[in-house]
Structures are given as C-alpha cells and as structure tokens.
C-alpha cells in the first residue's frame, strides 16, 4: 500500500474511484485540518496523484510513501490527537 499526504485545499482535485477512500468525508485530517492523506494498493501511482504533482504546488505534500515512512509521519505531533489527563 502507498500513501500520499496533501494539503486539504487539494481534496477537490482527487478522483476517489482511483483511491481506497470513498470520498472527502472519509478522510482523516491533521490537528489543524491543513493536511490529509490518501492511500492506494496498486503499484502504479493513481493518475489523480500524478496530475496533482504536475499541476499544483506540492508545498507540504509528500509521497508516495511506504507504510513505514507513513507511520513515521503519523507519529509526529501534527497528527496526534491531544489527550487530556484526569485531574
């Protein structure tokens, strides 16, 4: 499986038929909702991701990522939910 992290404003450019997510409502976002990610399970990078990389500024975007690299990114504080501790 491969992963791609992208800026939230690029979500309308995605073709969900090429990805494992079913639509924008199924995406997970980082803490400030500025980034999200998609995944696919084919060897070839989906056309919608290739097109994004050709047409749009890829600032803050990364990928395709392996599962190991993706897990490293997800472990960062930008993606971790804040948990409160009981008093």
- What pTM was computed for the model? 0.87
pLDDT for 3-42, tens place per residue? Answer: 999 999 999 999 999 999 999 999 999 999 999 999 999 9
Average pLDDT over residues 64-69: 95
- pLDDT more than 70, % of the chain: 93
Report the C-alpha dihedral over residues 28, 31, 6, 39, rounded to 10 degrees: -30
Strands 35-40 and 2-7: antiparallel
pLDDT of residue 49: 95
């Amino acid at each position: 499986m491969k992963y791609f992290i992208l800026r939230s404003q690029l979500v309308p450019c995605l073709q969900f038929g090429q990805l494992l997510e079913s639509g924008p409502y199924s995406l997970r976002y980082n803490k400030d909702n500025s980034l999200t990610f998609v995944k696919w399970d084919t060897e070839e990078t989906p056309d919608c991701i290739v097109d994004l990389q050709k047409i749009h500024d890829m600032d803050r975007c990364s990928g395709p990522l392996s599962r190991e690299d993706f897990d490293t990114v997800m472990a960062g504080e930008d993606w971790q939910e804040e948990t409160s501790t009981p008093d």
